[in-house]
Amino acid sequence: MKSQGTVLLVDDDAYIRDSLAEVLGRRGLTVRTAASADEALAEDALAGVDAMITDLKMPGEDGASLIREVADREPELPILVLTGYGTIASAVECVKAGAVDYLLKPTDPDELLLALRRALDGASRQRELAYLRERVGSSDSEARDPLGRSAPWKRVVELVEAAAPADTPVLLLGESGSGKGEVAKLLHRRSPRRKGAFVQVNCAAIPMELFESEFFGHRRGAFTGAVSDREGRFRVAHGGTLMLDEIDALPPPAQAKVLRVLEDGAFERVGESRPTRVDVRLVTATNSDLSQRIADGRFRPDLYYRINVLTIHLPPLRERGDDVLLLGETFLREIAVRLGKRIEGFHPETEAVLASYRWPGNVRELRNVIERGVVLETGRRLGPDSLPADLRELPKEPAPRDGEDTDLHLRRSLRAHERRLLERALERADGVRRHAAELLGVDERNLAYYLKKHGLHREEGQEDDREDDREDET
C-alpha cells in the first residue's frame, strides 16, 4: 500500500501511541512516534512529516509550548491536538498557537482520521497554491479539454480514457508543440487524482546544481541562499500528478534520483536525513528517441523501463486533417476575447492557407500564428494578409535545368506535387469540383483557392458544365 502521508504522533502514553499508530497505519498512513516534546523537537524529527498529532499534558514541555515551537519552525505543518483534559480555554490557546483541530480522548478512530484527512488536504492545497503563485505570468492551462475530431486524435483520447483510472506511469511521445502538456492535463482531469495538484516540470530548464532543490525541496540554511524552506515538485504533487516534460534532458545523476523515488516513494530534502514519502502519479514526455539515447549511454535503461509502462504517441498536426481549422477557430475566439478584438472568423483564403501549411511547430505554432493574425487584423474576419509571409507565399516553380530530372528544393517540390494531386483529382472526378474536393479531403472553398493558386481555376462566374449536365440527366 502506498503511503498517504507521514504523521508524527506525540504522546507520553505508550499504549495510546502504539494503538493509534496501528489504526492509522492500517489506513495507509506512515506513523512516527515521540514520547515527549523534546523527542518531537529533536534534529530531523520533523523531516518528511506531513502532519503532527500531540497530547497536551506531558512530562517536561507541554503540548501548547510544543505547538508554538513547531508552528514557528514549520508554519505549513498541520498540527492536531488529542487530549483527555480538554477545556474551552485550552482549545482557544492551542488554536492561537497554531493547531488546526482539537479532539478529546477517547476519540473515535474514524473521527480522528477524518480530521487528519482534512488537515492533510488543507496542507496539500496550500502547497499547490504556493506552486501556482510561482507560475503567475507563465502560460496557464486551459480549462477545456484538448480539441480534435480526426481519427488519429480520437485514438489518443481513447488511450487517455483507458489509462486515466490507473496509477500506471504514462510516457507521451510526440514532436515539439504537438500537445503533450495538454494531454497530460487531460489524463489528470480524467483520473481519480483530479482533486490533487497537477505539477508540470520542464526538465531541460533546470540546471543540475538546482535539480535536488527543485525536485525534492530544501531546508532553510541547507546551503548558501536557502533563506527559507522550499517544497520540491514531488511534494507539491503528493496525491496528484507530476509531469516531467523533456525527461531525456535529465543528466544521469538526476535520472538515478528520480528512479529511486519511483521505486521507493521516498526522498530526502536537501538538508534533511529522514525521508519524505509521497504518492504521485508520474507522466513523462519527450520528443526524442529514448531507445537511441539508451544505446548512446545517455539514458538509464532501468528508468526507461519504469516510465515506459503505457506509451501514447501524439500525432503531428499535419496528420490531423480538419483539426487544424477546428483548433484555429477555437484559438481565434479565445485570443480575440482576450485582446478585445471583434473578429468573427476566418476569410476563406485564410482557411485554405492554414489547411495547406505543414505546421512543423504543430499546435504551438498554430496558436502563435493565430495570435499574430488577431493582433494585426483590422477587419471582422482574419484575412490571409495578417498571416506570416512564409505561410502565404510559395516560390514559383522554375524551369528545369538542362539534364536535371528532379528538383530537390523542398517548397518547389511540394508545390509541384500539390498541383499534380489537383490535376489527378479533377481528372478522376471528371471535372466535377465537389467530387474532386471530396477526393482531396477539403471543402469546395478551399479547392477553389488551390485551383486559383495553381492556375487551374475557371473564369469568374463560369459554371461546371459537366456537373450541370449530370444533374439535368437525373
Whether 296 and 358 map to the same domain: the answer is no
Residue owning grid cell 482531396: 440
In a domain, 270, yes or no: yes
- What was the pLDDT predicted at 143? 53
Q: Is 235 domain-assigned?
A: yes
Q: Final residue of a domain: which of 314, 339, 369?
A: 314
One domain for residues 241 and 206? yes
The β-bridge partners of 171 are 284, 311
- Output the CA torsion 14→15→18→21 (10° steps): -110
Contact of 325 with 347, CB cutoff 8 Å: no
Per-residue pLDDT 10s for the chain (474 aa) are 455 788 999 998 888 888 888 888 888 888 899 999 988 888 778 887 888 999 988 888 888 889 988 888 888 889 999 888 777 888 888 888 888 888 888 888 888 888 888 888 877 777 766 665 555 444 433 456 788 888 899 999 999 999 999 889 999 999 999 999 999 999 999 999 988 889 999 998 888 888 888 888 877 767 777 667 778 889 889 889 999 999 999 999 999 999 999 988 888 888 777 888 888 999 999 999 999 999 999 999 999 999 999 999 999 998 998 899 999 999 999 999 889 998 989 998 898 889 888 898 999 999 999 999 999 999 999 999 999 987 876 444 444 444 444 555 666 667 777 788 888 888 777 788 887 887 777 777 778 778 877 878 654 334 444 444 444 444
Same domain, 251 and 159: yes
pLDDT number for residue 409:
61
Q: What is the CATH number of the domain that holds 46?
A: 3.40.50.2300
3-state class (DSSP) for residue 241: strand
Q: What's the CA dihedral at 429, 431, 436, 439 to 10 degrees?
A: 20
Tell whether 185 and 246 lie within a shared domain.
yes
Cβ atoms of 289 and 409 closer than 8 Å: no
Last residue of a domain, one of 280, 314, 348: 314
Judge if 247 and 281 occupy the same domain: yes
Which conformational region is residue 220 in: left (phi greater than 0), alpha (psi within -120 to 50 degrees), or beta?
beta
- Tally the domains of the chain: 4
Asked if residue 294 belongs to a domain, the reply is yes
Residue 399, in any domain of the structure? no
**Residue 139, in any domain of the structure:** no
- Given a contact cutoff of 8 angstroms between Cβ atoms, the answer to whether 360 and 388 are in contact is no
Domain span at 445: 410-473
What's the number of CA atoms in the CB half-sphere (13 Å) around residue 201?
31
Domain boundary pick from 133, 167, 191: 133
Shared domain check, 446 and 344: no
Same domain, 161 and 28: no
Q: Are 305 and 329 members of one domain?
A: no
Question: Is this prediction's pTM over 0.85?
Answer: no
Q: Is residue 397 one of the residues assigned to a domain?
A: no
Cβ neighbours for 101, distance < 8 A, ≥ 6 positions apart = 80, 81, 115, 118, 119
Query: Is 163 domain-assigned?
Result: yes
Is 240 in the same domain as 289? yes
At CB < 8 A and 24+ separation, what contacts does 426-433 make? 426/456, 430/466, 431/464, 431/466, 431/467, 432/464, 432/466, 432/467, 432/470, 433/464, 433/467
